[in-house]
Every structure is written in C-alpha cells, then in structure tokens.
Amino acid sequence: MYKVLKATFITIWSLFVLFPIMWAITTSFKPESAVVNGATFIPFLEYQPSLIGWKAILPGPDSLTNLLTPTLNSFIVTAGATAVSLIFGSLAAYGLSRFTYGWKNYSNADIIFFFVSQRIMPPVVLAIPFFLLLKELKLLDTHLGLILVLTSGLMPIVVWLMVDFFNALPREIDEMAMLEGCNPIQAFFRTILPLSKPGLTVAGMFCVIFGWNDIFFALTLTATKVLTLPVAVIALNGTVTPYWILAASTVFSIIPLVGLAFVIERFLSRGNLGGAVR
C-alpha cells in the first residue's frame, strides 16, 4: 500500500515538473497553425513540427534577434558577481564564524541578519536609486555596474550559507595552523579554504542561479551594450512576439543552467554537498 502511494506520488510530481518544460520544448517546434487554433500536444499526429521559432532566434536569414551577444554578457555578469560575492562573502562569513564582533549592543547574529536583510528590499524600489547612482558613477550599461548591484543580492546568500559551513569545521584546524606559526589570514587561506570547496561550490551555484536569472536590475540598469539573455527574451515578450518564438528563446536561455543541475547532482551523490548546509 505504502509502496503504491509512494510510486504514485513520485510519478505525479515528476510529470508536474516535466510538463511546463515539455510544453515549452514542443511549442518551440510548432508552426503557427498548431498554436493559434487551440492547444495541440502530440507532434506528427496533431501538427507537423517546424523550425520557424528556432530560425527566428538563431543567426541566419530569418533571424529576428541576436541572442549570442546577450548570452556572452550573461556569462560575464554572472561570473563576475559570483566571484565578488564569494570572495567578500566567505571572508566575512569566516570572520563571523570565528571571532566575536561587538559594537554597542550589536552581536554577530545581528551582523548576519544585516547581511541577510539586504535581500528583503524589493528590487522594484532599488531600481531608481541604483539608476541614478550608476549614472553618476558612469557605470550605467556596463558590466561592472551590473556586477556591483547584483553583488548586493548575492553576498547575503554566501554569508548565510558559509557561516553555518565554517561553524561546522572544527576550530582545532585553525588553531593547529596558528601554532605552526601562521597568522589568522594565512591559516584561513592555507587550511580552511581548501577544506571549504563543497561549501563554496554550493554558495557559488546559488549565486550563479540567482545572478543568471535576475531580470529586474538587468532590465533597468543596462540598455544596449550589456543586454543580458533573460532581458533579451523579455524584450521579445514586450513586442507582440508569438508563443513559438518565445518558447524557443526561453528554451535557449535555460539550457546553460539546466546543465548545472547535473553538476549539483554529482556533488550530492559524492556526499560532498552534505557538509555544505550544516
């Protein structure tokens, strides 16, 4: 009985997870007639697959848009914001894990909450002041500007994950290194950092996911030069682009990150990820 329930649950959940993805993929291969006359599901039987959607977004004579430059921009911005957040965030997290910071009545827990609270502000509100700020600094529509803004949302995640992770590493490791003559900075870089690869990987993966998928800041703070991939697709949505082209461009822009799911699974199965959230 339990087994049947479990199998049913797993099947239903998997179908639910797959459904929107399959719908996006099939829609991207549909000709116009298969979309506008009502929902169709089975290729060849209900409609003849067509490449019209994909031809519109890939380079070629029928191309409506260029998604390759935006893809490159997305890679640069995501990698940059992830690197900055990881470096500054993990240093801060290590400090918060090992030392006691006191300033009046504020304790480490309050400082951690301060970091995390930076995620609470809805991006909608920050868009305008960030726009003015970056304009003043001549960073509007530059990679660096977008990287800095994204960092304010990503560093909180790194700090939140890495404090717990460093807490789980025995203090004896750092103390041993210091007995051998390292100062705390050397101890961190020589002994703690190599042990932190699983934690840094998870934190980095969250940064990549949230950085890549950001739409709001990329939409308001960049114009033509640093157009990111999701924004390029959303821009298509803003005009009257038909569903088959939207579906093709959506599938195109989620492929790079779906590859990441395989990487995460490898880490999980090797048991490496395990220590990362404890």
Binding mask 148-177 for other proteins (x = CB under 8 A): xx-xx--x-x-xx---x-------------
Residues 15, 86: Cα–Cα separation, whole Å: 36
Residues 232, 234: Cα–Cα separation, whole Å: 6
Q: Which of 37, 105, 224, 239 forms a contact with other proteins (CB under 8 A)?
A: 37
Instruction: In angstroms, give the least distance from the CB of 104 to other proteins.
Output: 16
Q: Contact between 122 and other proteins (CB under 8 A)?
A: yes
Nearest CB to other proteins, comparing residues 105 and 183: 183
Instruction: In angstroms, give the least distance from the CB of 55 to other proteins.
Output: 19
Q: Which of residues 42-81 bind other proteins (CB under 8 A)?
A: none
Residues 128, 113: Cα–Cα separation, whole Å: 25
Nearest CB to other proteins, comparing residues 194 and 271: 271
Chain centroid to CA 34:
33
Q: Contact between 184 and other proteins (CB under 8 A)?
A: yes
Instruction: In angstroms, give the least distance from the CB of 257 to other proteins.
Output: 4
Size of the site for other proteins (CB under 8 A): 98
Nearest CB to other proteins, comparing residues 16 and 61: 16
Q: Contact between 209 and other proteins (CB under 8 A)?
A: yes
Phi, psi (rounded to 5 degrees) for 85: -65, -40
Q: Contact between 257 and other proteins (CB under 8 A)?
A: yes
Task: Please give the full DSSP string across 215-250, using - where no structure is assigned.
Answer: -HHHHHH--STT--HHHHHHHHHHTT--HHHHHHHH
157: left (phi over 0), alpha (psi -120 to 50) or beta: alpha
Q: Are 46 and 40 in contact (CB under 8 A)?
A: yes
